[in-house]
Amino acid sequence: MHRRDLLRLCGFGAAGLLASPFTRLLEPAHAGSLGGARRLLVFFTPNGTVHRHWRPESGMQFAPGSILEPLADHADDLLVLETDFVTGNNHEGGMAAMLTGGGGDSIDQVVADAIGGQSRFRSLELGALTSAWGGSSQTRMCYRGGGFVTPNDDPVNAWNRLFGDLGNTALLDRRRSVLDLAMADLTKLRGRLGAEEAARLDLHTEALREVERGLAGGGTCEDPGDLGTIRATDNDAFPDIVKAQIDVAVQALACGMTQVASVQLSHTVGPVVFSWLGESEGHHSLSHIDDGNPTGIASFVNCERWFAAQFAYLLDRLKALPDPETGAPLLDDTTVLWAQELGDGRMHECVNVPWVIAGGGGYFQTGRHLDLDETHDAVLVAVANSLGLPLTRFGVGTSGPAEVLR
């Protein structure tokens, strides 16, 4: 259901929409030199890289057999970055600082505070095998209010939470009918109330609006199909979990159920064994193999190429689905950040950490590979700016927005 149709169904005209407190939060997206992206999707893979197999050649060419080669069709849409963290080191420190810049809330949660209020879900955190070790700074990347935001590792559970009611048309119609009557009665009542009572009533009206958004998602929501049975804690099911979580995240963005989503693949020191690729050693162990073991390096590159292929699939899905407002590809108005917590995993350093940005609503100058030195926090500022947030510092603070990204 389209957002305009939902507003029309519920009796809200243009004046009602403009009066919403949430629209004020969206205004910075059109101010000054800030960007116009309207969604954020964070994608995470762990344990760093081997740079000589990761770095693009001149002209953003991805060499045959290189880690980023699966992204060749998207090269013009990418900003490939190497950045040094100002704070945080080693696996655990890098994981904690990656999206927070060493500060408090992570960038996804800060963005969600600004643009997530109009959606059914303020933010959506999805994962794949993130919780076998429990919740800690090794296994969590999203932070809010001094604590972790735990990702949902079960795509079937996430699917049911988001889309479970879509197939029950009669149920949705009955709910909408009740809401229509309630809103009409509240509108009549408000005209007879004093200022204090009207303010209380407005709180109830806003609660009903939240329910309305929950019924339709606020965009073009289609049933993504039955996910079947997925073993959410099974190592060998990792490919099925990852694909399903990407599908759920992208569909949630496409239908307006959320404006901010993240997909976390494993965690730092993640032990996933890529058995479906014929590998028998865990990813973290492979990330520590030195250059004197070319067979081991080849195994690690094999796994890293698989990660890159999943990111390519995510971008394919964002390009395939239309923006519910403009009809353009969803990627056009979505900032996508592929973040990692380490540079060369063998060195345990947050130096030359490999990040990739795609989309961004025209804010970023893509089709480039940049070495940004100690501008980690500034990159997070730029991500926020691409979504219209007028930040100049983030986390512990560095030099402000990384203008070189534009």
Shortest CA distance to 45 belongs to which of 285, 277, 288, 311?
311
Looking up tokens 């999805």, which residue turns up?
126
pLDDT tens per residue across span 298-348: 999 999 999 999 999 999 999 999 887 788 899 999 999 999 999 999 999
pTM above 0.85, yes or no: no
> What SS3 class is residue 218?
coil
Lowest mean pLDDT among 32-36, 74-78, 275-279: 32-36
Residue 16 has pLDDT above 70, yes or no: no
pLDDT at 40: 98
Q: Are strands 334-339 and 39-44 parallel, antiparallel or unpaired?
A: parallel
The separation between CA 156 and the C-alpha centre of its own chain, rounded to angstroms, equals 19
- Residue 379 gets the label, from left (phi > 0), alpha (psi -120 to 50) or beta, of alpha
Task: List the CATH code of the domain at 32-164+225-405.
Answer: 3.40.720.10
pLDDT at 117: 86
Residue 180 to residue 295: CA distance in whole angstroms: 65
pLDDT at 17: 29
Pick the more confident residue, 219 or 326: 326
pLDDT at 60: 94
Residue 217 to residue 59: CA distance in whole angstroms: 41
Residue 143 DSSP symbol: E
pLDDT at 163: 77
Mean pLDDT, residues 235-247 taken together = 96
Output the six-digit token pair for 311: 């990111």
Mean pLDDT, residues 189-204 taken together = 71
Q: Are strands 260-265 and 78-83 parallel, antiparallel or unpaired?
A: unpaired
Output the six-digit token pair for 218: 């606020």
Say how many CA atoms lie within 13 Å of 270 toward its Cβ: 28
Pick the more confident residue, 139 or 36: 139
Name the residue type at position 227.
Answer: L
Mean pLDDT, residues 47-63 taken together = 95
Contacts 24+ apart (CB under 8 A), 203-207: 206/21
- pLDDT band of residue 170 (cuts 50, 70, 90) is low
- pLDDT band of residue 205 (cuts 50, 70, 90) is low
Lowest mean pLDDT among 41-50, 185-194, 291-300: 185-194
- Cβ 356 vs Cβ 78: under 8 Å: yes
pLDDT at 28: 32
Burial per residue of 232-250, b for 16 or more beta-carbon CB atoms within 10 angstroms, e otherwise: beebebbebbbbbbbbbbb
- pLDDT band of residue 355 (cuts 50, 70, 90) is very high
DSSP H/E element including 125: strand 124-128
Residue 359 has pLDDT above 50, yes or no: yes
Residue 226 to residue 94: CA distance in whole angstroms: 37
Mean pLDDT, residues 206-211 taken together = 51
Shortest CA distance to 261 belongs to which of 273, 282, 246?
246
Where do the structural domains in the chain lie, given as residue ranges?
Answer: 1-30+167-220, 32-164+225-405
- Cβ 224 vs Cβ 248: under 8 Å: yes
> What SS3 class is residue 336?
strand
Contacts 24+ apart (CB under 8 A), 376-382: 376/83, 376/84, 376/85, 376/86, 376/97, 376/101, 376/350, 377/86, 377/101, 377/102, 378/402, 379/81, 379/83, 379/355, 379/405, 380/99, 380/101, 380/107, 382/406
> What's the distance, Cα to Cα, between the start and end of the chain in Å?
35
Residue 220 has pLDDT above 70, yes or no: no
- pLDDT band of residue 228 (cuts 50, 70, 90) is low
Residue 29 to residue 111: CA distance in whole angstroms: 12
Strand partners of residue 335: 40, 359
Mean pLDDT across the chain: 83
Exposed/middle/buried for 135, CB within 10 Å: 0-12, 13-18, 19+?
A: middle
pLDDT at 3: 40
